Amino acid sequence: MSCLFLCGFMEVDYTKDTSTKGRMNQTLTLNLYCIVIIIVFGFALSEALRETNDLNVGLKDQRLALEWVKENIGSFGGNPDKVTIFGQSSGTLSVTMQILAYGGTQGAPFHGAIMESTALEPTSTLNLTLDAFNAVANLTGCDTFGNPQGSETLSQNGGDVYLPTADGDFLPSTSSQLVRQGRFVQMPVSIIGWTEDDATFFMPPNKTMEEFPDTFYPDPNQTTIEILLELYPLDDFTANAEAGLPAEFYRSAQVFRDILFVCPSFLFGHAIADKYNQDLANGHPEGQSEPEPKVIPPVFLYAFNQTILTSSLEAIDSPGLGVIYTSELVCVFANFTAYNVLGLVKPTESDFNLLEQVSRSFTGFANTGVSTIPGKDMLKGWAGSYLPGAEMMDASVYVVGGSNPGMSTLEGEGSVLNCGRTMLQVLFEYYWQWQRVNVIQYRGVISYGQRRLHRLPFFTPSPSPPHSHFLFNLYTMSTTTPASAPAPATDPNWKPKPGHVGNLSPEQQKALDTFRDELKQEGAFVEERMDDPFLLRFLRARKFDVPLAKTMLLAAEQWRKDFGVEEIVKNFDYKEKEEVDKYYPQFYHKTDKEGRPIYIERFGSLDITKLYKCTTQERQLQRLVWEYEKSISTRLPACSSSSGHPVETFCTILDLRGVTLRAFWNVKDFVMQASKIGQDRYPETMGKFYIVGAPYLFGTVWSVVKRWLDEVTVAKISVLSGDVKDWKGTLLETIEPENLPHYLGGVCDCQDKGGCSMSDAGPWNH
C-alpha cells in the first residue's frame, strides 16, 4: 500500500498569530516561498506562459512527483501498482486535476483516489484572461515574472484567486466538460465525500439568503436568488439562539455546501462509475489486464456527520457550526492530538470508536480497494454507491458517524441525508452547467474577471443555434438539414444571406472547396447527402474553420451509423403518435411568410407520467430523428419550391403556458439528449424562434443571457410573456393567420385532419 496526501493547509502556530498576514509570514519562514510562487504563476494565463506551454506548470510539477513515487515506491516497501493519492480541499482539486490530466490519454501514475471536500469546483480549470493575469500580478506586487515584491498582498487576498487553467494541453478543456465527455483516466477505486456542515466555516453569520450569493458569485441576478429560495424553504431550517445564528445562516450554508461539495461529488462519482461500467462491458477496465468480476463499481460516496471540534470552535467564538470542514481528517489520520492545540478536545467513547473504524476503512481502501472487510473493525456495510446503470442521483451515500450511520439513499424511506434528490437535480443543472470565466475569492475579499455564461436552466450556449427544446439548451436543438440541393430561386426579390450559396466571400469559398476536397480524399464524402448547402451548415457552425467543421461532420457521420439512422428512416413506425400528442404535442404545421416550415412544441401540455405509459424515451428520440430526416428529404425542398427561393431554416414556436418546474425537470433527460442531436448532428437551422407564454423568471433569465450572445442570434429569438392576446400580434407579423393554430392567435384548426398537431399540414404534402 502507498498513500500520498495532498492538502492546501499552511503549517502554523495559531496560538501565536491568527491573522492572515501572520499565517503567510510564518509560512514564508518555513521556506515555502517557492510553493507560493508556483501556486500563483503556475495556474495563470499569459502569452509568455502560453508560448512555453507552462500554463499549468504547478500541476505538471505534481505530475512529475507522482511519477517519481510510482517509479521508486518499491524501494520503500510500497506497491507501485497500488498507489492511492488522497487530498482534502485544494488538495482534492489537485487529485481531480491529475485524474483529468491530458484528457485521460496518458494514464495516471496512481491506482486509486480519495477526494475529501470539493471533488470539482465551478471555478476550477478556467481560462483566466490576460487582463485577469495582469490583475493578479498587480495584486501580488510583482512587476516581472521573477521579481516578487513581498507577501503582504498575497496574505490579504488569499489563495482562491489562483486556479488551474484549461490550457489545451494538461487540461484540454474545463473540468466539468472533461468529466461529462468521459475524458479522464479511469480510477479502479475511488472515495469521494463531504462533511455534513462543510460550508458553515466559510459563511458570514449576518448574510440573508438574498444577500449571500454576492459573497461567492459575482453579479447574482434575481432569478438566482428566487430559485434558491424556492429550493430551500426557510421553514426547513432552525435558528441557534445560543450561537446567535439565524435560520438564514443555516439555509445559506447548506446551499453553498450543496453547490460546492455535494453536487460535484455526485457528478464526478457517477462519471467514474459510468466509465467503469463501460470498460467492464468492453471486457477490460483501464489499468487491468483482465475483466474485473465486480458488479458494483468501486466508487464510494460518504457524508461525514460527527466532529470533535465543537469545543474548539466555541473557544474562538464560533459556536453552532456543526460538523465543519476538515472534521473527518482527525479520524482518517487517527490522531486526536493534532487538533488539540488548545487542550480543549475531549473525545468520547463514540469518537474513539469512530476514529478506529474510519482510519482502518480508509487505509484498508488504499490497500484492498474496499472500505468494509467482514470481521474487521471498520465502517460496517459501506458498499459501492452506484448500481450498474444507475442515474447520477440514484446513488447511495454512506453516512459516517452521528446517530444514524450507514448507507442512505437521497430520498425515500430510511433516508437520513440532509439533501434531497429533486433539490440537487435542480441545483446541479443550474450551477454545474455553467462554464464561467471568473475568479472568486470565497470570503468576499475580492471578485473580478470576465464571465462567460455557458448554461442556465433554460439555456445552453453553443456555436450553432438550431430550433427547439429551448428550455434546456438555447442553442442545442434541433431541426434538420436539407441534404438535397434546394430548388433554384424564382423569386426576383430574394437574395442569399452571407455565408450561404450565392453569397460567399473568397475566403469562405476557399474553405468550402477545401472542406469538400478533404472529405473526398478521406473517403468520407457522401455524394447524395453532402451538397454545398449541407457542407456550409457545418462550416458556419464552426465559423469556417475547416478542421473544426470536419471534426464535427465526421462525428455526425459516425453517430448516424451508431444510432441506426438509415434503419429508422426505412422502418420506423410511430403507431403511438395520436396518444403521445395528448400529453406532449410536438409537430410541424404549414409555413411562415418567408416560406419556412413552422415547428410547434407545447411544453405546458406535458404530462410525463401519461406520456411514458404509451411510449418510451428511446422511441421519442427515434421519432425525433425520423422527423429530422423527413425534413431533409421532403419538407425543406418542398418549401423551397413553394416559396421560390432556397429554404434552409425553420420558424419555431415554443409554448410555455402552464409549464411547471416539476414537469420541466421530469423531462430534462430527453430534452438534453434531443438537444445534443440537434446541436451536433443538424447544425445551423434556426431561422426564427418564438418563446410564448414565458413565465416571469424565464424573461428575467433571458434579459441576462442575451447580453452574452452575438447580435445575429439575439435578433432571431423573441421571448413573449403573458397570454395569447398579448403576443399574437407579434406572431402574425411573421405568420399568416390561416397558417397559425387558433390557440396561438391564428384561425387554423385543421378540423378535417384531427387538429393542427396531427395534420402535418404544409407544402410537403401537396
Domains and CATH numbers, the chain: 2-448 (3.40.50.1820), 576-765 (3.40.525.10)
DSSP string, 576-641: THHHHHHHS-EEEEEE-TTSPEEEEEEGGG--HHHHHHH--HHHHHHHHHHHHHHIIIIIHHHHHH
* DSSP secondary structure string for all residues of 154-204: HHHH-STT------SSSS-S-HHHHHHTT-SPPPSEEEEEEETBTTGGGS-
Three-state DSSP class for 2? strand
pLDDT for 756 equals 95
Rounded to whole angstroms, how far apart are CA atoms 601 and 470?
A: 10
Element holding 754 (H helix, E strand): none
Q: Tell me how far apart the alpha carbons of residues 440 and 452 are, in angstroms, rounded to a whole number.
A: 14
Query: Which of 463, 488, 467 has its CA nearest to residue 631?
Result: 467
The pLDDT, as a whole number, for residue 371 is 82
pLDDT less than 70: residues of the chain: 1-54, 121-163, 207-225, 279-295, 337-343, 420-423, 425-492, 661-665, 696-697, 699-701, 704-705, 707-710
Q: Which residue has the cell 478521406?
A: 522
Q: Where are the beta strands (DSSP E) in 254-367?
A: 299-304
3-state secondary structure of 439: strand
Pairing assessment for the beta strands 686-694 and 650-655 based on DSSP bridges: parallel
d(CA 68, CA 66): 5
* 89 belongs to the catalytic site: yes
Could you give the CA distance from residue 233 to residue 222 in angstroms, rounded to a whole number? Answer: 16
Separation in Å, CA 279 to CA 240, 450, 517, 635: 49, 39, 37, 42
Cα separations (Å) of 673 from 234, 431, 676?
35, 19, 5
Q: What is the pLDDT of residue 340?
A: 64
Residue with cell 433569465: 701
User: In the prediction, which pLDDT does 348 show?
Assistant: 87
Q: What is the pLDDT of residue 530?
A: 92
Q: Is the dihedral of CA 755, 757, 760, 763 positive or negative?
A: positive
Q: Do the strands 717-721 and 2-7 form a parallel or antiparallel pair, or are they unpaired?
A: unpaired
Residues 6 or more apart whose Cβ sits within 8 Å of residue 517: none
Q: Indicate the residue type of 707.
A: R
* Angle at the Cα of 461 from the Cα atoms of 656 and 667, rounded to 5 degrees: 40
Catalytic, out of 2, 19, 46, 89 = 89
The 8-class DSSP code of residue 324 comes to B
The answer to whether 464 and 481 are in contact (CB under 8 A) is: no
Residue 220: CB partners within 8 Å, gap ≥ 6?
213, 214
